[in-house]
Homo-oligomer: A and B are copies of this chain.
Amino acid sequence: MNKICIVGVGLIGGSFALGLKNSLNKSQQLHIVGFGRNEAHLQQAQELGVIDAYSLDIAKALSGAELVLIATPVNSFKGILEMIKPHINENTIVSDVGSTKGSVIAIVKEVFGEMPENFIPAHPIAGKEQSGVQAADGALFNNKRIILTPTDNANMQMIARIRELWEALGAKVEIMSDKTHDDLLAMTSHLPHMLAFSLMDYLISSDANALDYAAGGFKDFSRIASSDAVMWRDICLNNSEEIVRHIEGFTKSLDKLSRLIKDGKAQEIEQLFLNAKIARDDWLND
Q: How far is the CA of A275 from the CA of B197 in the complex (A)?
A: 9
Interface residues on A, range: 35 or more
In chain B, what residue has the closest Cβ to A75? B266
Asked whether A59 is an interface residue with its Cβ less than 8 Å from the other chain, the reply is no
Q: Which B residues lie within 8 Å of A90 (CB)?
A: none
Pick from B203, B215, B230, B280: contact of A127, CB under 8 Å: B215
Interface string of A115-126 (1 = CB under 8 A from B): 000000000011
Which one of A36-44, A78-86, A204-212 is at the interface? A204-212
The answer to whether A200 and B236 have CB atoms under 8 Å apart is no
Nearest residue in B to A221 (C-beta to C-beta)?
A: B192
A interface SS class: helix
Contacts of A279 in B (CB 8 A): 200, 203-204, 211, 225
Interface residues of A in 199-258 (CB under 8 A from B): 199-207, 210-230, 232-233, 236-237, 240, 243-244, 246-258
CA distance A269 to B231 in the complex (A): 11
Contact of A264 among B230, B240, B256, B269 (CB under 8 A): B240
